[in-house]
Amino acid sequence: MNSGTFASVRELAFRILVKSANSEAYIEDQVQESGTGLDSRDFARLRYLVTTVVRRKLTLETVLRHFVKRSVEPDLWQLLKLGAAQILFGDADHRHADVNETVEVARAIGKSRWCKFLNGVLRNLDRAILTTTETSSLGRKVYPINSELDLRALSLDLFTDPDVDFPGYISEAFSIPRWLVERWDARQNRSEILRMAGWFLSSPRMCLRVNLHKVSREELLQQFEKAGFSGRAGNIKTSILDVNAASPHELPGWETGYFSIQDETAQHAAPLLDPQPGECVLDLCAAPGTKTLHLAELMGEEGEILATDVSKSRLAKVRENAKRANIDIIRTRCIARDGHDLPEGPFDRILIDAPCTNTGVLGKRIDVRWRLTKSDLEELPALQRELLDRAAVRLRRGGAILYSTCSIEPEENERVVESFLQSHPDFSCTHQQTFLPGAPADGGFQALLVFSNAL
């Protein structure tokens, strides 16, 4: 489908949502695939529609259950959520049109029998929103409409009372599985949880890491400005935030490797490992290669980096990024998930960006929250520990391992490191850091494990 009206984009959004309900593919990938041929304005609209429904799934279902008193077909349920998302979170001045355009989707796909029901449910929902009442307090009628925690009130008590059941309210109003909120509630203060939950409502922002070996941040920002783009210096010396480009490919310096796309939290990893020129470095779980490039930059592009991953197609991304940046010290190798077929080494330094639950980046990986289970927190730490063990026997004495995750769960972070150190007395943890989501970037964990020189 080519560029069209918002109504036609809404129909495409509906078809993606129906398809995604029976697919293991990530929603962002499905949007990219289905949006081919749309102009930038329509693609942005498509992405917003689909990701809002997926990101706010539990809030939408909590609200709609009060207006839908009978069972409905799965596809109709998806269309109801699509319409309700715009009414609940969108521009108040556009709500009447949102109802009409959602009904038109039913007619366009040959489901005219849905039209009266859709119109009735969505009109009732629209009438339930208190457009003249401002509130700054959470409550049974209140929900956030964005990551800035702007609140909107309903005329009905639709949510769990936050004073009685705080995890239940956060789960429903912010669309996070209750079991996750309960875990956080056991170890974080509630203002922190509220801030994290708000961060997870935000759309992924474009954060750049400047290759300071090729250009200064100030020079790159000047190049952006001359080309008609804007941005601002980030919170660390290598980062640029708030770039107003739809894609990094539009920006000057992309094709010459002046910058990469990387969140500020991830930008701390390679400097902590501190690879030196001429060293031999292993990058485990490397794809798509952003940290790999950072390692190469810090090495002055002297030495050797072996980038490994379980996916051949994702390793192709590593090579593609290295070619773009004109870096030739990176080799790639496909390995088994448990790393048993890793080369013997020895390596001077090893980066393990371990497979994890991704609970620190739920705003960026929006469908992960609906795929996670409690059993993942039992299975993944075993794999993480196995990768650490395999890396340890391939490290040169005096070398270091950086263990990194995108998780904020202790089972995947501190406890994995503690378990490793107990069985590897020649190693010590010299630095450990936890990043909570939104303070000010993505959440994650990094630990530097040094292998003693002593025999």
For 439, phi then psi, to 5°, come to: -125, 65
412: phi then psi, degrees, rounded to nearest 5: -95, -10
Number of DSSP helices (H) and strands (E) in the chain, helices first:
18, 13
CA dihedral 183, 189, 195, 197 (to 10 degrees): 20
Rounded to 5 degrees, what are φ and ψ at 245? -105, 145
Q: Tokens 């409550």: give the residue.
A: 139
8 A C-beta contact, residue 425 and residue 446: no
State both tokens at 241.
Answer: 């935030």
As given in the structure block, the two tokens for residue 229 are 């783009």
Q: Contact, 118 vs 102, CB < 8 A?
A: yes
DSSP 204: P
Is residue 21 classed as helix, strand or coil in its secondary structure? coil
Q: Catalytic residue at 406?
A: yes
Q: In sequence order, which ranges of 137-200 are alpha helices (DSSP H)?
A: 166-174, 178-185, 190-199
Determine which one of 334, 356, 406, 429 is catalytic.
Answer: 406
Q: What token pair was written down for 156?
A: 């009905």
Phi, psi dihedral angles at 154 (to 5 degrees)? -110, 165
Q: What angle do CA 238, 48, 120 make, to 5 degrees?
A: 155
In whole angstroms, what is the distance from residue 130 CA to residue 175 CA? 21
In eight-state DSSP terms, residue 282 is E
By CB neighbour count within 10 A (0-12 exposed, 13-18 middle, 19+ buried), where does 398 fall?
Answer: exposed
Catalytic residue set: 406
